[in-house]
Amino acid sequence: MNKKALITGVTGQDGSFLSEFLLAKGYEVHGIIRRSSVDFRERIAHLEGKPNFHLHYADMGDSMSLVKLVGKVQPTEIYNLAAQSHVQVSFDAPEFTADVDAVGVLRILEAVRTNHLEKSCKIYQASTSELYGKVEEIPQNEQTPFHPYSPYAVAKLYGYWIVKEYREAYDMFCCSGILFNHESERRGETFVTRKITLAAARIAQGNQDCLYLGNLDSKRDWGYAKDYVECMWLILQHPTPEDFVIATGVQHTVREFATLAFHYAGIELRWEGEGINEIGIDVKTGRTVVAVSEDFYRPTDVVNLLGDPTKAKTELGWNPSKTSFEELVRLMTEHDMAKVAGEGVAAKVRMNLAEYLEKGIVK
Ligand code: NAP
Ligand code: G4F
């Protein structure tokens, strides 16, 4: 049978890497996009026009669009990655987050049932380590109790349980990957890692003075997104539908991430002070280049995530140490150093052009 994947959230970080991965495996890939006033599809622009890559308008909040699309595509695998995925934003838009991240999962499951594809279509649900929230044990594995600690996590908890319920009630092949944080050069710019690597690059090149962060003590198990999408696929190739923790088993603080990113950008940091008064100083110039702002504190913050990937390692044969923390920070920082340098050149060209037009040197 031809392998046909439908990816919700195809424009996101994971959706773009997963599309590349599945196309390389010979899949026909279909992705859901939604209407926006600016068509910003940077992460998948290089895939558009490929014969096996197709985009369709639909929305996780619109059942009818999902039912019609699933019926039209007749996928053999669905990867449900679409979500309002920013934890801090979920405190400001909790209802929207619940609609997309919780009820959206139900809509996908029902779209499969409505089209009578329960026995031919496997479903992967993008679950999250945020379910462990105010953690009850360290490290966290498939048996660790959940304690969601944000509107995002509560919505994702519904997604997790409804997937389990449909698996048991209707014998569907649907599973959750409980993924710990995974980052890349394609990570959204308001997540802490990308915010840091971009700022380190801008500060190193004289385009920004200071980076403002929230909780520097927060600990995360950070992996590389490109390695993690392979696991999403492996979960659906497993003989039985099961849930898996996907993590590296290594933990670092936000402060450690920042120290290393600035190092790769050519700036050595020294930390002084505590809490809201903590600052990161450029050892060479004595300038404060990192400071703490309450604006980035959360009403409840998840501060100690560390995953135990033993089950994924032994049952899926997945390698959690493919990309080390150091390599991840280096590749993201190097990418952003080049991006910022490119922006500088483009700005200079625009300035020169404006000047030449004004002086009539070019018309
Ligand atoms: P991301 O970059 O924020 O991408 C989210 C995707 O969801 C985007 O394509 C977005 O489309 C789409 N989307 C949002 N609302 C939608 C709606 N109403 N209808 C249709 N599409 C909608 O997220 P990511 O980092 O790739 O993460 C992928 C999934 O894994 C998410 O479900 C996230 O919650 C989960 N997860 C991520 C991590 C991580 O560390 N990255 C860890 C655990 C779980 P637009 O481009 O149009 O906004
Ligand atoms: O990068 P973050 O925003 O990621 P967070 O909250 O862990 O969520 C990400 O990973 C989850 C998996 O565990 C996914 F489910 C979710 O979709 C998303 O991809 O924040 C990481 C930590 C937090 O503790 C936060 O308080 O960094 C801390 N932090 C400190 N300063 C900051 C900042 N976070 C952000 N976004 N911005 C800051 O300035």
* Separation of alpha carbons 334 and 345, rounded Å: 17
Going from the Cα of 188 to the center of ligand 1, the distance in angstroms, rounded, reads 10
DSSP 163-203: HHHHHHHH---EEEEEEPPEE-TTS-TTSHHHHHHHHHHHH
* Separation of alpha carbons 239 and 316, rounded Å: 10
Range 150-176 average pLDDT: 98
For residue 215 and ligand 2, the question of a CB distance below 6 A is answered with: yes
Range 193-218 average pLDDT: 98
351 falls in which pLDDT band (50, 70, 90)? Answer: confident
Can you tell me whether residue 57 is helix, strand or coil? strand
18-53 per-position pLDDT tens digit: 999 999 999 999 999 999 888 779 999 999 999 999
Q: Whose CA is nearest to atom 23 of ligand 1?
A: 12
Average pLDDT value for the chain:
96
pLDDT number for residue 1: 59
- The residue with tokens 């992705």 is 31
* Separation of alpha carbons 308 and 287, rounded Å: 39
For residue 134 and ligand 2, the question of a CB distance below 6 A is answered with: no
Residues with CB under 6 A from ligand 1: 8-15, 32, 34, 36, 59-61, 81-85, 100, 126, 128, 179, 181-182, 188
Encode 323-352: b = buried (16+ Cβ within 10 Å), e = exposed: bebeebbbbbbebbbeebeeeeeeeeeeee
Percent of the chain with pLDDT over 90: 92
pLDDT number for residue 38: 86
Range 163-178 average pLDDT: 98
Probe target for ligand 1 pocket from 6, 39, 81, 132, with the most ligand atoms within 8 Å of CB: 81
For residue 85 and ligand 2, the question of a CB distance below 6 A is answered with: yes
Q: Whose CA is nearest to atom 6 of ligand 2?
A: 87
* Separation of alpha carbons 296 and 213, rounded Å: 6
For the question of residue 297 being annotated catalytic, the response is: no
For the question of residue 152 being annotated catalytic, the response is: yes
275 dihedral zone (left: phi>0; alpha: psi -120 to 50; beta): left
Partnered with residue 123 across adjacent β-strands are: 78, 174
Probe target for ligand 1 pocket from 85, 128, 132, with the most ligand atoms within 8 Å of CB: 85
247-289 per-position pLDDT tens digit: 999 999 999 999 999 999 999 999 999 999 999 999 999 999 9
Q: How many residues does the chain have?
A: 363
- Start-to-end CA span in the chain (Å): 59
Q: Which of 152, 166, 224, 228 is catalytic?
A: 152
Nearest to residue 56, comparing CAs of 92, 30, 23?
A: 30
Contact 335, 196 (CB under 8 A): no
**Cis preceding-peptide flag for 241 (omega within 30 of 0):** no
pLDDT at 356 over 90: no
Residues 6+ apart with CB under 8 A from 78: 5, 6, 7, 8, 70, 108, 112, 121, 122, 123, 124
Percent of the chain with pLDDT over 70: 99
* Separation of alpha carbons 108 and 78, rounded Å: 9
Going from the Cα of 2 to the center of ligand 2, the distance in angstroms, rounded, reads 38
Encode 265-303: b = buried (16+ Cβ within 10 Å), e = exposed: bebebeeeeeeeebbbbbeeeeeebbbbeeeeebeebbb
For residue 271 and ligand 2, the question of a CB distance below 6 A is answered with: no
pTM score of the predicted model = 0.96
Partnered with residue 175 across adjacent β-strands are: 124
* Separation of alpha carbons 226 and 186, rounded Å: 10
Can you tell me whether residue 54 is helix, strand or coil? strand
pLDDT at 187 over 80: yes
80-119 per-position pLDDT tens digit: 999 999 999 999 999 999 999 999 999 999 999 999 999 9
307-333 per-position pLDDT tens digit: 999 999 999 999 999 999 999 999 999
Which long-range contacts link 187-196 to residues 24+ away (Cβ below 8 Å)? 187/13, 187/225, 187/332, 188/12, 188/13, 188/85, 188/86, 190/86, 191/86, 192/218, 192/254, 192/257, 193/222, 193/257, 193/261, 193/329, 193/332, 194/332, 194/336, 196/254, 196/257, 196/258, 196/261
Backbone angles phi, psi at 45, to 5 degrees: -55, -35
pLDDT number for residue 149: 98
For the question of residue 285 being annotated catalytic, the response is: no
